[in-house]
Structure 1
Amino acid sequence: MSKSNENNFDPVLMAVLSNRIDGIVREMTNTLLRTARSAVINSARDSSCAICTGDHQLLAVAEGLPIHIFGSDRQSLEMANSHPDMAEGDCYLHNDPYSGNTHPADHAFLVPVFFEGEHMFTAVAKAHQADCGNSLPTTYMAVAKDVYEEGSLIFPATRVQRNYEMVSDIVRMIERRIRVPSQWYGDFLAGISAARVAEKRLKEVCEKYGRETIKEYIAAWFGYSEQRMVNAIRKLPAAKLVNTGRHDSTSFLPDGIPLKAEITVRPEDAIVDIDLRDNIDNIDCGYNQSESTATSSVLAGLFNALEGDVPKNAGSFRRVNVLLREGSVVGKPTFPHSCSVATTNIADRMVNLTGSAFAQLGDGYGLAEGALGPGIGMAVVSGTDPRFDNAPFVNQLHLCTNGGPASPLADGWVTYGIPVVAGLMYRDSVEVDELKHPIQVKRLSLMTGSGGAGRFRGAPGSLLEYGIKSDEMTVIYPGDGQETPPRGVQGGADGQLAERWVVRGDGEESKLPNAATVKMGRNDFVRGIDCSGGGYGSPLERDPARVLHDVLEKYETVERAARIYGVVFTSELVDEATRVDVDATQKKRAALAAQA
């Protein structure tokens, strides 16, 4: 289609079709959420859906998690290349991190959508599994030296349905390795159902508008999205940005993992280059990124830093070059290095590294770093449940909050999660988790005075404690954030560090490392402190009325209001009648500025 025809497409029809297709993605998401069996999907919504074009370009993602959706086009291409006989009625299971997927725990279901004999779309429904067959009962196996020690079942675009009929041999093979097969099978059916819903709806759209109109729409939508990206990049100054960071140490990585991103902004060409090639080689543990997560994490950081709501699809991606190196921990992994934790730890650091790099352009650009570290609030728990004849259980919790980063315009989100999901997942219902598993949540609370201070502050961290109502349970998490905090920018303060503890039934407390496997007995419990978000801008520039509001709402303390923000109130006991003492605040801030 010519450029002139792209520009001439009816803008009203383009808006209608774009919202219609986004609506299909949301219907897919609701199908997963309402029909899956495991809490990691139906409570936390650790799942994402997307639609790709027949020529393997990402078209629509709606509210998909950033770390999940940017590689969907690679999976669609792998499906087509692996199956020249691909036909209507097929469905493929793809969780191979070496050929387009994120990590093995994310099972993606791909359905090619045909209309009038032509492959028009691929529907992609991806969901994190409660169990993926790992040798340990966790879907985040940080200690795995390679994919063999990891032990997960890998399906590189494997056909699981032919002519709408299940390939039962594949199902039996998977069930043999899954610890709670009935739970997995429910999630398996939910994923296929979500993709089939999209197939039905996309055919309806094609029937209503016609194949050629849909093709014209796709080209026009990509052209429009590219132009929106052009406009956003041209608002940035030309620059070469270099940002470095570090993943914390663990018992198997005593020096941690140094990280680096080099970003070149070329507003005249409306291009951004993100070069990740100057990072260390693959490491002998599960922290290696897959090509998909290495790309998506920096794309997420970039989009977080851009002005306006730029569509996330193949059109806007045309203006970004992500440069990766084969065999790098932040790049294209070489087999058999494990990518078990590819969607969180390093990915979280790279989202932060990219987004905060743009703050180097000056006040008003970029954003601070968001809280990270999948700790006990994101642990995989497993054991037997005495309420159900000691039946086995396994599931990943999502009881964390983690503080969102401050931006030039706003405070951080409280329910941020971690950078790779950026508030799009749900925090587990405590009641649902306690119903599904023999655990008891003792405490889940925000921590007053913990957010990174700034003109706009990072969201606070949280405190979580839970124990078990059985004789034993295993808690496994990949961890981070106990040594290197989320950083503030433009004079904003860093977020607080994470902490993790196990408290035994006799009261003995032991501090836990970043990545750990914890064996718990009756009356034991674990305690975790989540990071908070970094601040943006000097705390002395924060509106004093906002500081008073924070104190009243228990986000901040009176002591920190005076010591860090330089705000003095008319009464020591702050209540609704309290006001900011303007003269005293001006003097306090002047004194603090002189000491800086």
Structure 2
Amino acid sequence: MTSNTYQTDVIDMSVISNRFDGIVREMENTLLRAGRSAVLNMARDFSCSIITGDNRLLASAEGLPVHVIGGDELGRALNRYHPGAKEGDAYLHNDPYEGNTHAADHTLMVPVFVDGEHMFTTLAKAHQADIGNSKPTTYMPFAEDVYEEGALIFTATKVQEDYRDIDDIIRMCKKRIRVPNQWHGDYLAMVGAARIGERALKELCDQYGRDVIKTFIDDWFDYSEELMRDAIGQLAPGRVTGTGRHDPVGDLAPSGVELTVTIEADPTAGKVIVDLRDNIDCLPGGINESETCAINNAMTGILNCLDGAIPRNAGSFRCIEVKIRDNCIVGRPTFPHSTSVATTNIGERLVATTQRLIAEGWPEQGMAEGACGIGAGFAVISGKDTRTGAQSDYVNQVFLGSQGGAASPGYDGWITFGNSVTNGLMLRDSVEVDEQKYPILVDELKIRQDSGGAGQWRGAPGAVLRYGPIAGEMTAYYVTDGKDNPPRGVAEGHNGAASQQYIVSSAAPDREAVTIGSESLRVGEYLVHELSGGGGYGSPLRREPGLVRTDVLSGLVSLTAARDLYGVVFTGERATGTLQVDQAATDELRAGLLIEA
């Protein structure tokens, strides 16, 4: 970039872009510290962003991809229903048919005016513990339609005027939501985050002047597009079509859901096209993607395979086109199909399939498949807390599990990856805080040995989690994937281990837990989830033996797997710290395994 190419000076370009990111981070810090539910102040299932007044994503800092890609559509809904929006207004939006992800993601939007011009909108999007669904969970895969789902839906609904709450809306939410004080605390945190962004943006414009900032915005988008076109220009021209498969979903999809993805790279034009139109129609259940999720999850799969230093904004997004169709499970759902689970299961598969196809179509690019679905390790738990003698309702989603991330050329999978749609940006709960907040005991949480897909670059292992109630009955709602179709490896890399769930009790034999649905547990019963690992990349026989030794010493890989899968022979013992690679024996074993293969 040179000052001759853009009107904004190169130094100002860098400083101002970082100022915008800093504003978003201040918003995020506010939401993290002020949020009341554990899903916000521990798991960090929220995102903040800034879009321009004409609805272009400008800054998102550490926003979750599934949340921030599509913020432009939220802004368009605000403009559509409130063309006369004014300073001091705030709007609540969670309508999946008007640009939102799914009903559980409440978005607080504040239009920001500078010298009377609507220059920005600040967005604080936060997953809620409860949204008024017909059951105490935000994930309802078997909800036949939005009516059975039952969530309160707000379509860019004004909730503040002249910086004051509109009490009718707040009262409506408190009457319908099972944990009203928890929701209201999260609402206030979202308002605080959006308002802090508003104040900081005004200060930035006062410092530099409105015209300078407007020029920067156009230059920043053009510069981001230039970087993305250059990255895509390094790919070979090509087109690849492939499939992924979600596990069976009860009677709704007894053989699973196959996803077909076509990717075309045009390096000359600096563009990637993802075509999702060759997929089944919407199903009468909650696993359909919303339009925003279909687009942002496909884009995430592409962005995962490109230079992470390229700014993620409306400028760079000009280079990626996602083609969808009406009434498609990964497209534009027709009302009243439910999209309750839009942000996770089918979406996770879409991310994983897209990045795997890049690896299959463009060697030394792309990634294997990673974490998929939200099983018991990420359940929405509910019940009555009787620990103090009085009974109080609790509802919250726990993020105690850990699914393995996918391997990629030159890199092992990310061990705390969590979910493909969030790219490892969410956090795991604190066991101790969850046990203080809710009447549960986390009896076991450890790495699941040998669960990461073997490869030259190893998929990350999953975890083993065991938890249950210590007072009263607890119900866990969850939607598992990866049991029948575990994350796939690529380029001779092995698949990750499959997801497994069961219930253990000292008073009864172990039994298999439901894969998708809910389980009610009494004191003394524990829900166990052995979470899937990520897929491996490249043949495990090409993995550096020293790395295998490190994996064995760390407990990620067993001695048996080191020998049988990686072809590595050791001398000495792990327990005594004398474990060393026997290079000659390793070379001989690997040669024999290659002949067998």
TM-score (normalizing by structure 2): 0.98
Aligned residue for 1:74, secondary structure, equals helix
Equivalences for residues 274-285 of structure 1 within 5 A: 274-285=274-285
How big is the shift at 1:503? 2.5
1:265 aligns with 2:275: no
Aligned residue for 1:318, secondary structure, equals helix
1:367 aligns with 2:367: yes
User: Please, which runs of 5 or more residues in structure 2 have no aligned partner?
Assistant: none
Query: C-alpha offsets along residues 383-438 of structure 1, whole Å, 9 cap, x if unaligned?
Result: 11012411111000000110010010110111100101121001000011001100
Take 1:27 and 1:8, find their aligned partners in 2: how far apart are those partners? Answer: 28
Take 1:526 and 1:573, find their aligned partners in 2: how far apart are those partners? Answer: 32
How big is the shift at 1:502? 1.9
1:378 counterpart letter in structure 2: F
Query: C-alpha offsets along residues 264-323 of structure 1, whole Å, 9 cap, x if unaligned?
Result: 000011111100000100001110000111011011110101134211100001111110
Match of 1:183 in 2: 182
Q: Is the 8 A contact 1:261 1:276 kept in 2?
A: yes
Take 1:538 and 1:484, find their aligned partners in 2: how far apart are those partners? Answer: 20
Equivalences for residues 186-205 of structure 1 within 5 A: 186-205=185-204
Take 1:243 and 1:10, find their aligned partners in 2: how far apart are those partners? Answer: 45
Q: Is the 8 A contact 1:373 1:498 kept in 2?
A: no
Structure 2 CA distance for partners of 1:407 and 1:195, relative to 1, 3 Å: same
TM-score (normalizing by structure 1): 0.98
Match of 2:141 in 1: 142
Take 2:200 and 2:499, find their aligned partners in 1: how far apart are those partners? Answer: 45
Equivalences for residues 441-460 of structure 1 within 5 A: 441-460=442-461
How big is the shift at 1:329? 0.4
How big is the shift at 1:577? 2.6
Match of 1:314 in 2: 314
Q: Is the 8 A contact 2:74 2:100 kept in 1?
A: yes
Indicate the larger mover: 354-363 or 536-545: 354-363
How big is the shift at 1:4? 9.3
Take 1:126 and 1:22, find their aligned partners in 2: how far apart are those partners? Answer: 16
Take 2:228 and 2:243, find their aligned partners in 1: how far apart are those partners? Answer: 26
Query: C-alpha offsets along residues 321-347 of structure 1, whole Å, 9 cap, x if unaligned?
Result: 110101100011111000000000001
Query: C-alpha offsets along residues 366-398 of structure 1, whole Å, 9 cap, x if unaligned?
Result: 111102221111100011101241111100000
Take 2:346 and 2:16, find their aligned partners in 1: how far apart are those partners? Answer: 37
Aligned residue for 2:304, secondary structure, equals helix
How big is the shift at 1:546? 0.4
Query: C-alpha offsets along residues 222-280 of structure 1, whole Å, 9 cap, x if unaligned?
Result: 01100010111011000101120111002232121110110000001111110000010
Take 1:287 and 1:115, find their aligned partners in 2: how far apart are those partners? Answer: 41
Equivalences for residues 431-446 of structure 1 within 5 A: 431-446=432-447
Aligned residue for 2:110, secondary structure, equals strand
1:528 aligns with 2:526: no
Take 1:224 and 1:576, find their aligned partners in 2: how far apart are those partners? Answer: 52
Take 2:362 and 2:222, find their aligned partners in 1: how far apart are those partners? Answer: 30
Aligned residue for 1:262, secondary structure, equals strand
How big is the shift at 1:580? 1.0
Take 1:469 and 1:577, find their aligned partners in 2: how far apart are those partners? Answer: 43
Match of 2:241 in 1: 242
Match of 1:409 in 2: 410
Q: Is the 8 A contact 1:6 1:223 kept in 2?
A: no
Take 1:310 and 1:370, find their aligned partners in 2: how far apart are those partners? Answer: 22
How big is the shift at 1:469? 1.2
Query: C-alpha offsets along residues 33-74 of structure 1, whole Å, 9 cap, x if unaligned?
Result: 000110000011000011000110000110001111101110
Q: Is the 8 A contact 1:222 1:315 kept in 2?
A: yes
Match of 2:381 in 1: 381
Take 1:505 and 1:439, find their aligned partners in 2: how far apart are those partners? Answer: 17
How big is the shift at 1:525? 1.3
Equivalences for residues 23-62 of structure 1 within 5 A: 23-62=22-61
Aligned residue for 1:108, secondary structure, equals strand
Structure 2 CA distance for partners of 1:505 and 1:335, relative to 1, 3 Å: farther
Q: Is the 8 A contact 2:64 2:425 kept in 1?
A: yes
Q: Is the 8 A contact 1:363 1:408 kept in 2?
A: no
Structure 2 CA distance for partners of 1:326 and 1:4, relative to 1, 3 Å: farther
Structure 2 CA distance for partners of 1:117 and 1:6, relative to 1, 3 Å: farther
Equivalences for residues 90-101 of structure 1 within 5 A: 90-101=89-100
How big is the shift at 1:524? 1.4
Take 1:33 and 1:79, find their aligned partners in 2: how far apart are those partners? Answer: 25
Take 2:505 and 2:557, find their aligned partners in 1: how far apart are those partners? Answer: 32
Indicate the larger mover: 519-528 or 224-233: 519-528
Match of 1:225 in 2: 224
User: Please, which runs of 5 or more residues in structure 1 have no aligned partner?
Assistant: none
Structure 2 CA distance for partners of 1:525 and 1:91, relative to 1, 3 Å: same
Match of 2:471 in 1: 470
Aligned residue for 1:278, secondary structure, equals coil
1:340 counterpart letter in structure 2: S
Q: Is the 8 A contact 2:348 2:420 kept in 1?
A: yes
Query: C-alpha offsets along residues 540-565 of structure 1, whole Å, 9 cap, x if unaligned?
Result: 00000000111111111111111110
Take 1:235 and 1:574, find their aligned partners in 2: how far apart are those partners? Answer: 47
Match of 1:509 in 2: 510
Q: Is the 8 A contact 2:406 2:460 kept in 1?
A: yes
Match of 2:290 in 1: 290
How much identity, in percent, do the aligned residues show? Answer: 50
Q: Is the 8 A contact 1:249 1:514 kept in 2?
A: no
Count of residue pairs brought into register by the alignment: 594
RMSD of aligned residue pairs (Cα, Å): 1.3
Q: Is the 8 A contact 1:550 1:556 kept in 2?
A: yes
Take 2:595 and 2:545, find their aligned partners in 1: how far apart are those partners? Answer: 19
Q: Is the 8 A contact 1:250 1:513 kept in 2?
A: no
